[in-house]
Structure 1
């Protein structure tokens, strides 16, 4: 039952709230609400659903959400649930407070307090979306975000595809299979929330950048607002998935970076902002040179990665990245039975290349001599002073029980701490910074046997992020999976993963790529992590209902095809409650006179957007005709078999 209908029925139980013609005396109810009338509050508390929506439990005491109740009652009588009649109100409050009531700066935009389903399934197709307002359309949003039924489940390993028998779970009962989920990412995130909330170590996403040619094709009249709402809805539920040691990395360009930073400050908290990483993605050359020569714009050679944690106590794992050799590592220190022998490699090698090669291949005995020891403890400073002008190595054990070598007024720093090994070759490393300008964006076009040169991130980039934030068996999520780079890298690095994607990339699909990973493909990071193949993942789809008709409408080539789809819709689809089928058929000639694009838009508007996918509560509903295999899979996923 709709929330307003339920409220109206409950309030009409009190005669003083009902007019002579049976209408609800809204103004009387409002006055009672403002005065916190005990009889009104008791009436609301008598209904469990109304109590859940209009009261909050604070340490055992129920507190009336007066503002929410008044706003709901004032608006619900006159407006529908769409954004169209409510758009002047939307976005004027942040977290339930009007802007003038807030002391901090906030990012506001039209439709901020709405849910955008974002059901685009083809990059090239524009969509007209419904914005469900969080106050006016609580029932619709609850239904929209309800967990969905799963279908077409299969396990894929080195032996190929086979029907899913069961999910693997750990001792705590949590699913530990790698998962690839096909379907709307907002609805998929809400579907996995109960199972994985608080269990994800890392979320990495490379969302659409809203550049106008990147696949984010929504109504241009409010494109920026649409993009921000689209991002906010998904980031909000993504935050719930992160464990307290978790973090999220969101990649973008400078088209929306400033807005996204403020949005993520709001969702994750400014105290959890860690870094804005700048990544060099290309070199200043090529066809764009003509734009630079004209003075129109500079070369675009960078992107940004916004890095946030779940809590302020988060710590990453420091890593070294390849860099030019530091020739201060010039001392070869060898321990003998009688003491230490110190050789200066500058005296041994005059050629830099030979020097570097020798040092990297014998790094266990190579050191630099650090004489700036102002931050050293007092005890070690005494030993350092003793060693000045003394050509003998002194052994010193520090408070962490570590052996420190002191020599000639300084401390030896070992090269071995900075060695990076890739494909059996040693490189010099420096601690990572927030500027990534090395080679991580090179040679990625055909990685994994898929080819998306305009939208695919290189495996080396994802490997670095995983090394910074995760260990083996940690869970990684990417809900803009695309061609599957995140899942492929996580698989090779022995992390668990959940990938969600709603667009169809056909031969460049993530499933195609992961099959090749399992069979031991050797592109990307494979050699550096000694990847030999193996492992498995489970493929699932959100079970479509009205979404199937939308995709058919989008693919239709002419009016005749659309009319055939309409005939199926009349008997098989869920139409909006106010659609008059007979009246619609009477005006078919008018429908035929529209452009093909307008015809498609019109048919899509007739469909109930809350029935795009099958809700879990409809699992046993005969109207949806769900087969036994899908029922079993869905019950297993949600652990309902008990």
Structure 2
């Protein structure tokens, strides 16, 4: 490769030092040069600065106390030795030199020091699809992005193909207005979450996630629809960035539930402690995910999965009551619900406190409107209790008719319901508390697979609706917002719809179409899953929209290229179509480089993925001011975006989204 003029000049100076900076074969010892430059080796610095070209290019005059002082721009000079010619200026400086910075300059350039955490590409995508791992070892995982670019990356994005589905329009109809409808978004979930931030900040009551699991061992290529072979550090950053914005979206008292297998659950627990706060930990539920017995030859419990639950600000006015008990009883009380009165017939409540008479009056968790007489561990009289109950009298009577009863375990009088089967739970059901299983009305993978099959869908490892319904029932009321941004087959959204909760779903992969089809069948009133339990008859609606792709489409084409010719066609189409490349890269110069031409297909793809500007994966909402962008959109979509982003409540005031972003950032 032909050296630039400045490099030729530098090499000629370095050759004056004999073998100090060159090997016996004449190869430049770049690391040695950088080491001596960092050390300001006097003899080397003197030789370099004596050259007029280097002096004029890399020195700058500054005035200090009325005196002119020349400063040598050392970092810029060093960059010449660390990057290829086609990496113009400082494209990879953050991945080659990571450390303490202030104002974008490293510690050796300033006395003001802050810790600068390098943003990796997991902010963007992190191997969510298998294509991200295909033909390369986690491509662009060492790429880092400056803070200003991260801000640009996470700006609200344009929605296109906005379509509303309801019983009258199961095929969907274009919609140009958004009125807090149920919402399904196709696109990168991190970017989508930031696009939802201003409308839904602090408004989501429950989040359930079934994310890509972390596995200690590499999984077969066809085990999951998504990429399941993360490095641990990559997976943790991938999850961290998404959970941080999820925490912002939760309302005070809102609860997040995340499912995880045994390999990743301990790592996830530590991460959630850090993001949501250890004091906000509620419980780790253990779900028996199969009807089949464990294999005796397996060392780990492959028949169970873990669901970590955290509440946002547990000291808030909405307080989680339904913590686990030794019998696995479901919560009956939740202080976020309206106050009501329930009547309990004699013998319905079991007491784990002493027999005796407990007078009418207010207790910590409820108010007794009648005296409570406890004999032989049960209430011997009909009693009336006033509190913030999860159920009404009708539901209570139905559960009693099934043989269920209720339990009070302390003088705080927090009451919980236990199904009739609970007393016959086998000892093997207990692992640090009860399994969530069919004893509690929670189904298994087999139930989920059977349900998915009746819907005519092909989706492996879907969760049963009854699992999600268990959590929805515990922490939400009708019309609360339930979110799942690893939507998959749409289990969370279907359960929320059937339980009259509002929902938001986000999915990047193409099987989002399965989720839409499933929800359409739910609109019609399909009777699988929890439908019969909640007397679901159909109804409701939702809006589907897509983040408007910009470089995301090119990125997918590069990743999916199977031959060098296909890759070349994509790259030329990118150049001719005006794709956004990193501003520090001359792509045409890359293509002409002899070293690039001799690369393997996998290396070429990895390089092209690297030079695509990932800050421009999708069009920003601010781009709608550009007529060229508007020409790519339908009139309906333009109106829909204005409706969605038109105005939001920010700091108590109704303002434009852009103004609010400025205030709230």
Alignment TM-score > 0.5, same fold: yes
| Distance apart, 1:144 and its partner CA | 0.9
- Which residue in 2 is equivalent to 1:99? none
> 1:371 and 1:576 mapped to 2: Cα distance?
68
Q: Is 1:371–1:410's contact at 8 Å kept on the other side of the alignment? A: yes
- Which residue in 1 is equivalent to 2:10? none
399 and 24 in structure 1: CA distance in 2 versus 1, 3 angstrom threshold: same
| Distance apart, 1:119 and its partner CA | 5.9
Is 184-193 or 275-284 further displaced after alignment? 275-284
| Distance apart, 1:218 and its partner CA | 8.5
| Distance apart, 1:125 and its partner CA | 4.0
1:367 aligns with 2:347: yes
Q: Equivalences for 1:275-424 in 2 at 5 Å?
A: 275-283=283-291, 285=293, 289=295, 292-293=296-297, 297-313=299-315, 314-316=318-320, 318=322, 367=347, 374=354, 400-402=368-370, 404=372, 411-412=379-380
Q: Per the alignment, in what secondary structure is the counterpart of residue 255 of structure 1?
A: helix
> 1:129 and 1:540 mapped to 2: Cα distance?
28
Q: Of 642, 645, 659, which residue of structure 2 is paired with 1:638?
A: 645
Q: Per the alignment, in what secondary structure is the counterpart of residue 455 of structure 1?
A: coil
| Distance apart, 1:84 and its partner CA | 2.3
- Which residue in 1 is equivalent to 2:166? 157
- Which residue in 2 is equivalent to 1:459? 465
Q: Of 545, 548, 554, which residue of structure 2 is paired with 1:543?
A: 548
> 1:272 and 1:435 mapped to 2: Cα distance?
21
Q: Equivalences for 1:29-108 in 2 at 5 Å?
A: 84-87=95-98
Q: Per the alignment, in what secondary structure is the counterpart of residue 552 of structure 2?
A: helix
> 2:592 and 2:66 mapped to 1: Cα distance?
41
| Deviations 1:237-271 (CA, angstroms, capped at 9, x unpaired) | 11111111211111111212112111111111111
Is 426-435 or 564-573 further displaced after alignment? 426-435
Q: Is 1:149–1:543's contact at 8 Å kept on the other side of the alignment? A: yes
- Which residue in 1 is equivalent to 2:620? 615
Q: Of 404, 412, 423, which residue of structure 2 is paired with 1:428?
A: 404
- Which residue in 1 is equivalent to 2:488? 482
Gaps of 5+ in 1: 1-11, 28-77, 91-107, 169-175, 326-362, 381-397
> 1:489 and 1:479 mapped to 2: Cα distance?
15
| Deviations 1:33-91 (CA, angstroms, capped at 9, x unpaired) | xxxxxxxxxxxxxxxxxxxxxxxxxxxxxxxxxxxxxxxxxxxxx9756752245779x
Gaps of 5+ in 2: 1-59, 76-88, 102-114, 330-342, 361-365, 384-392, 407-415, 419-431, 648-654, 657-665
| Distance apart, 1:579 and its partner CA | 2.7
Q: Is 1:554–1:600's contact at 8 Å kept on the other side of the alignment? A: yes
1:514 aligns with 2:519: yes
Q: Per the alignment, in what secondary structure is the counterpart of residue 96 of structure 2?
A: coil
| Deviations 1:551-577 (CA, angstroms, capped at 9, x unpaired) | 122233322222221121002211122
> 1:251 and 1:414 mapped to 2: Cα distance?
41
TM-score, normalised with respect to structure 1 = 0.67
Q: Of 238, 245, 252, which residue of structure 1 is paired with 2:253?
A: 245
Q: Per the alignment, in what secondary structure is the counterpart of residue 262 of structure 2?
A: coil
Q: Per the alignment, in what secondary structure is the counterpart of residue 635 of structure 1?
A: helix
Q: Is 1:420–1:428's contact at 8 Å kept on the other side of the alignment? A: no
Q: Equivalences for 1:118-133 in 2 at 5 Å?
A: 118=125, 120=127, 122-123=129-130, 125-126=132-133, 127-130=138-141
| Distance apart, 1:633 and its partner CA | 1.8
> 1:369 and 1:180 mapped to 2: Cα distance?
43
- Which residue in 1 is equivalent to 2:212? 208
- Which residue in 1 is equivalent to 2:475? 469
Q: Is 2:95–2:143's contact at 8 Å kept on the other side of the alignment? A: no
> 1:369 and 1:630 mapped to 2: Cα distance?
57
> 1:576 and 1:367 mapped to 2: Cα distance?
73
CA RMSD across the alignment: 4.2
> 2:592 and 2:581 mapped to 1: Cα distance?
17
| Distance apart, 1:543 and its partner CA | 0.6
131 and 539 in structure 1: CA distance in 2 versus 1, 3 angstrom threshold: farther
> 2:554 and 2:152 mapped to 1: Cα distance?
19
> 2:532 and 2:368 mapped to 1: Cα distance?
36
Q: Is 1:114–1:131's contact at 8 Å kept on the other side of the alignment? A: yes
Count of residue pairs the alignment pairs up:
491
TM-score, normalised with respect to structure 2 = 0.65
- Which residue in 2 is equivalent to 1:599? 604
Q: Per the alignment, in what secondary structure is the counterpart of residue 577 of structure 1?
A: coil
> 1:607 and 1:530 mapped to 2: Cα distance?
51
Q: Per the alignment, in what secondary structure is the counterpart of residue 444 of structure 1?
A: helix
577 and 370 in structure 1: CA distance in 2 versus 1, 3 angstrom threshold: closer
> 1:493 and 1:199 mapped to 2: Cα distance?
18
> 1:590 and 1:483 mapped to 2: Cα distance?
45
| Distance apart, 1:138 and its partner CA | 1.1
518 and 570 in structure 1: CA distance in 2 versus 1, 3 angstrom threshold: same
| Distance apart, 1:454 and its partner CA | 3.6
Q: Is 1:450–1:513's contact at 8 Å kept on the other side of the alignment? A: no
Is 118-127 or 159-168 further displaced after alignment? 118-127
Q: Is 1:150–1:630's contact at 8 Å kept on the other side of the alignment? A: yes
- Which residue in 2 is equivalent to 1:391? none
- Which residue in 2 is equivalent to 1:190? 194
| Distance apart, 1:111 and its partner CA | 5.9
Q: Per the alignment, in what secondary structure is the counterpart of residue 84 of structure 1?
A: helix
